[in-house]
Amino acid sequence: MHTSSTRQIPEVGDVPRHVAIIMDGNGRWAKLRRLPRVAGHRRGVETVRGIIRASIERGIEYLTLFAFSSENWRRPQEEVSILMDLFMRALEQEVAKLHQNAIRFRVVGDLSRFDPRIRELVTAGEELTRGNTRLTLTIAANYGGRWDIAQAARRYYRAHRGALEPDAPLDVEALAPYLSMSYAPEPDLFVRTGGEQRISNFLLWQLAYAELYFTDMLWPDFDAAALDDAIASYRARERRFGRTSEQLQPAAEQAAAR
Ligand code: IPE
Ligand code: IPE
Ligand code: MG
């Protein structure tokens, strides 16, 4: 179990332990080339492969990718079907490779609306890779940050049914284990490609103290060098978690400054 960044200050290293990415801009990438949107989504899948590899090389332990939001059902039916197809094919073709590379695979989101075949592949993939420790790759599919908090509350009350006093307080530490990513520390670095500067109902709870990084680069163009730029920006930040800058300086430096 990982404690919340608002309760306990996590250790901060040069490389973010957990990177969470909103992979945006596939459609615009395709449009710029006068290609159908699906071409952008296909290229986006290739980008995912490259970023997984680059994340491992850089020592990132958790990589979380937003693949389909709970709001993306609003897209034209045809695009939704294409995205579901791509997801299914990626599951069929990539999970074995993930396992060969010692990657633990997880999916978060409300899978109840998905095709049973997708649900089976997800369960099988999670089962196959559960013991792997090199990188934890989480795909957020039909995920919404508000859904996550609501489902955590529902599961909390279900687990404590009968044992709760009517006025029992529900605090941060009590709810955290029921959130869908309770197996991971909170993201250190959040990246959004595609130029938009918004969270779009991604990990609302878990991003409480993440460093935010936005780039205009479209997702199909995002490569290892672009990831390095994001990490360089992350390194230049001072993560205070509510403290003052002075509190973060080592004692010797503080003495020298006096
Ligand atoms: C992100 O790219 C992929 C998904 C949301 C599935 P978009 O499809 O949102 O690309 P743009 O924003 O239209 O360029
Ligand atoms: C966010 O991208 C969701 C994913 C990348 C899966 P969108 O392109 O759907 O976001 P909005 O709706 O423009 O904010
Ligand atoms: Mg978009």
> Does residue 148 carry a catalytic annotation?
no
Backbone torsions φ then ψ of 117, nearest 5 degrees: -65, -40
Looking at the predicted structure, is the pLDDT value of residue 164 above 80? Answer: no
The DSSP result for 55-123, as a single string, is HHHHT--EEEEEEEETTGGGS-HHHHHHHHHHHHHHHHHHHHHHHHTTEEEEEES-GGGS-HHHHHHHH
> Which ligand 1 atom lies nearest to the CA of residue 30?
14
Q: Which ligand approaches the C-alpha of residue 139 most closely? A: 2
Q: Tokens for 76?
A: 């034209």
Q: In 26-56, which positions are buried (b, 16+ CB within 10 angstroms) versus exposed (e)?
A: bbbbbeeeeeebbbbbbbbbebbeebbebbb
Reported as a pLDDT band with limits 50, 70 and 90, residue 249 is: confident
Looking at the predicted structure, is the pLDDT value of residue 2 above 90? Answer: no
Quote the pLDDT of residue 8: 86
**Mean pLDDT calculated for residue range 28-51:** 98
| 22 contacts: CB under 8 Å, gap ≥ 6 | 66, 190, 191, 192, 193, 194, 199, 200, 202
Distance of CA 25 to the CA centre of its chain: 17
**CB of residue 26 inside a 6 A radius of ligand 1:** yes
pTM as predicted: 0.95
Looking at the predicted structure, is the pLDDT value of residue 59 above 70? Answer: yes
**Three-state secondary-structure class, residue 19:** strand
Q: Which residue's CA is the closest to the ligand 2 atom numbered 12?
A: 200
CA distances from 32 to 11, 26, 104, 220 (A): 42, 10, 35, 12
Please identify which of the residues 14, 24, 115, 167 carries the catalytic annotation.
24
Ligand 2 interacting residues, C-beta cut-off 6 A: 22-24, 66-69, 71-72, 196, 198, 200
Looking at the predicted structure, is the pLDDT value of residue 82 above 70? Answer: yes
pLDDT one-digit tens code per residue, 105-162: 999 999 999 999 999 999 999 999 999 999 999 999 999 999 999 999 999 989 888 7
**CB of residue 68 inside a 6 A radius of ligand 1:** yes
Tell me how many degrees the CA angle 221-186-74 measures, rounded to the nearest 5.
Answer: 55
Distance of CA 167 to the CA centre of its chain: 34
CATH superfamily, domain at 18-257? Decaprenyl diphosphate synthase-like (3.40.1180.10)
Q: Which ligand approaches the C-alpha of residue 198 most closely? A: 2
Amino acid at 132: N
Distance 167 CA to ligand 1 centre (A): 44
